[in-house]
């Protein structure tokens, strides 16, 4: 092969530096395989007077021309005497003229277009098939793998001479269709499948543990992956450190500290791939352990609010809000205290990488009337919402100079009214730490936010 100038003349410094393959007479069309994991392509090589052939592209291959045409010896003179060794045979070839009963290539003589069928868009028998057209007889055949060779099955016929010269698959709605052009009629035509195409599977990944000191052994599991057609799945793992696996639930050990992204792709029996899913693994990096240093266990925490206030309901609501905002996201919880009228503040700090434990206090509600002067009595109670509807209790309290204050208790709500003062409700109980807060129990609450 040589590169030529505009005048068609080559020079010594214009010679091609590399030759990928040789021994091809007229490689009219090249088609790439979209189903291959690497680079794979076929070459449709037009013969001279005896054979048409399909070759699989390979670096450094010698396909034999002009010593032979297909596998048929063409010349035994000069450099073809003897025939050079290691010539690469075509994956499929057919004679000009008659090829026998069952062959779609009878009285055909000029191979042209070619295209691989993408897996999953047509019925399963076409997965991996290679479509090849003959310009002379107006036939398109599907080459289907049969062991180590290919057999030809008629796909379209009666297209007339001087017909198909190019084929390719392209977009059509949410799938693909075959597009081909014809020389004689100057048409571009589309061939689509009107059935239900094969759907891609869905990958699911889990890992235990996801962090720890090196060396870290992690158990991965992709068995939660699924396929709409319930086909058997194959697994492709990439652990992010150069290692891979094809097991459904592999075990892998990371020896060096760092952050790794493990990726899983699953394929069904037709090699249709799922979208990739990932999980992050931190080696040599663990989350912090939160602790509540203050206030002391059993000490009351005060919340300041308006005079009309459903104390127990509000405390549980705030506890649930903080638990929801904090669960799985907080790297630490810190508290700062102030005077009772200012209320304690709880700051939920977002961590940079790992979900922590959350500390909580298991509490019960305490309410206190705070008038303009010092309080003289304290009422402690359990959940007021469980009190019977026909039960009423009046508690009369005396505050110096503040007058009488009443508390009415029924099944639906519990309000405190204080003349010229504010209600202060507190949380008080031992501290305990768990992996996540439990907001289902009446008396369990993480530290509440101020109003």
Q: At 15, is the secondary structure helix, strand, or coil?
A: strand
Tokens of 230: 């319930």
All residues at 6 or more sequence positions from 193 whose CB lies less than 8 Å from its CB, including other chains: 121, 122, 123, 175, 177
Measured CA to CA, the distance from residue 104 to residue 109 in angstroms comes to: 12
Q: Which residue has the higher pLDDT, 300 or 116?
A: 116
Residue 378 has pLDDT above 80, yes or no: no
**In what side-by-side order are the strands of the sheet with 111-116?**
111-116, 130-134, 139-146, 149-156
- What is the pLDDT at residue 392? 34
Q: CB–CB of 382/407 below 8 Å?
A: no
Average pLDDT, the chain: 74
Residue 143 has pLDDT above 80, yes or no: yes
What tens digit of pLDDT does each residue of 161-196 get? 889 999 999 999 989 999 999 998 889 999 999 888
In this structure, which topology does domain 206-283 adopt according to CATH?
Answer: Immunoglobulin-like (2.60.40)
Residue 296 has pLDDT above 50, yes or no: yes
- What is the pLDDT at residue 255? 97
Q: CB–CB of 124/198 below 8 Å?
A: yes
Measured CA to CA, the distance from residue 70 to residue 1 in angstroms comes to: 21
Q: Which residue has the higher pLDDT, 408 or 291?
A: 291
User: Domain map of the chain by residue range?
Assistant: 12-191, 206-283, 301-445
Task: Give mean pLDDT, residues 242-267.
Answer: 97
Closest-CA residue to 90 (of 59, 58, 112): 58
Q: At 164, is the secondary structure helix, strand, or coil?
A: strand
277-283 and 211-212: which strand pairing? parallel
- What is the pLDDT at residue 324? 58
- What is the pLDDT at residue 377? 31
Q: CB–CB of 78/103 below 8 Å?
A: no
Q: At 76, is the secondary structure helix, strand, or coil?
A: coil
Q: Which residue has the higher pLDDT, 418 or 436?
A: 436
What tens digit of pLDDT does each residue of 300-355 get? 655 544 434 445 555 556 555 655 555 544 433 333 333 344 444 433 333 444 44
- What is the pLDDT at residue 78? 87
What tens digit of pLDDT does each residue of 62-107 get? 999 999 999 999 888 888 988 888 999 999 999 998 999 889 999 9
Task: Give mean pLDDT, residues 291-299.
Answer: 73
Task: Give mean pLDDT, residues 281-301.
Answer: 80
> What is the per-residue DSSP string for 344-412?
-EEEEEEPSS----EEEEE-EEEEEEE-SS-----EE-S-GGGS-TT------EEETTTEEE-EEE-SS
Q: How many CB atoms lie within 10 A of CB 96?
A: 17
Q: CB–CB of 118/133 below 8 Å?
A: no
Task: Give mean pLDDT, residues 18-25.
Answer: 90
Q: What are phi and psi of 113, to 5 degrees?
A: -75, 155
Q: 20 forms bridges with which residues in the sheet?
A: none
Number of residues in the chain: 451
CATH of domain 12-191: 2.120.10.30
- What is the pLDDT at residue 294? 73
Residue 383's pLDDT band (cuts 50, 70, 90): very low
Task: Give mean pLDDT, residues 287-297.
Answer: 77
What tens digit of pLDDT does each residue of 190-223 get? 999 988 878 889 999 999 999 999 999 999 999 9
The DSSP 8-state label assigned to residue 229 in this structure reads T
What is the value of pTM for the model shown?
A: 0.50
Closest-CA residue to 117 (of 37, 196, 32, 199): 32
- What is the pLDDT at residue 317? 64
- What is the pLDDT at residue 91? 97
Return the percentage of the chain with pLDDT > 70, whole number: 62
Q: How many CB atoms lie within 10 A of CB 340?
A: 17
- What is the pLDDT at residue 140? 97
């Amino acid at each position: 092969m040589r590169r030529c100038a505009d005048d068609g003349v080559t020079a010594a410094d214009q010679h091609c530096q590399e030759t990928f393959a040789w021994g091809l007479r007229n490689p009219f069309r090249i088609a790439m395989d979209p189903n291959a994991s690497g680079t794979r392509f076929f070459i449709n090589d037009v013969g001279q007077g005896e054979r048409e052939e399909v070759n699989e592209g390979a670096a450094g291959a010698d396909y034999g021309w002009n010593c032979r045409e297909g596998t048929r010896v063409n010349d035994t003179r000069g450099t073809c005497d003897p025939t050079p060794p290691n010539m690469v045979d075509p994956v499929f070839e057919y004679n000009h003229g008659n090829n026998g009963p069952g062959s779609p290539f009878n009285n055909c003589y000029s191979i042209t277009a070619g295209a691989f069928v993408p897996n999953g868009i047509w019925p399963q028998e076409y997965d991996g098939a290679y479509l090849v057209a003959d310009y002379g007889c107006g036939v398109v055949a599907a080459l289907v793998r049969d062991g180590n060779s290919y057999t030809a099955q008629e796909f379209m016929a009666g297209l007339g001479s001087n017909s198909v010269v190019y084929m390719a698959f392209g977009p059509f709605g949410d799938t693909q269709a075959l597009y081909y052009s014809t020389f004689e009629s100057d048409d571009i035509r589309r061939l689509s499948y009107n059935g239900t195409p094969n759907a891609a599977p869905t990958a699911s990944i889990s890992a235990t543990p996801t962090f720890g000191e090196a060396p870290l052994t992690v158990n991965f599991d992709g068995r939660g992956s699924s396929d709409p057609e319930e086909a058997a799945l194959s697994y492709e793992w990439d652990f992010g450190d150069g290692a891979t696996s094809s097991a459904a639930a592999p075990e892998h050990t990371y020896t060096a500290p760092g952050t790794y992204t493990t990726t899983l792709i699953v394929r069904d029996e037709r090699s249709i791939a799922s979208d990739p899913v990932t999980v992050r693994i931190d080696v040599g990096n663990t989350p912090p352990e939160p602790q509540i240093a203050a206030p002391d266990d059993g000490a009351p925490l005060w919340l300041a609010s308006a005079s009309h206030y459903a104390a127990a309901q509000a405390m549980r609501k705030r506890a649930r809000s903080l638990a929801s905002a904090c669960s799985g996201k907080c790297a630490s919880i810190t508290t700062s205290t102030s005077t009772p009228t200012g209320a304690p503040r709880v700051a939920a700090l977002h961590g940079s990488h790992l979900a922590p434990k959350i500390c909580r206090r298991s509490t019960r509600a305490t309410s206190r009337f705070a008038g303009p002067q010092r309080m003289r009595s304290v009422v402690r109670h359990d959940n007021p919402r469980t009190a019977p509807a026909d039960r009423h209790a009046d508690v009369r309290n005396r505050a110096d100079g503040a007058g009488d204050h009443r508390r009415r208790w029924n099944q639906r709500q519990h309000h405190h009214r204080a003349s010229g003062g504010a209600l202060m409700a507190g949380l008080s109980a031992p501290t305990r730490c768990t992996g996540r807060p439990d907001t289902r129990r009446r008396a369990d609450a993480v530290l509440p936010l101020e109003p």
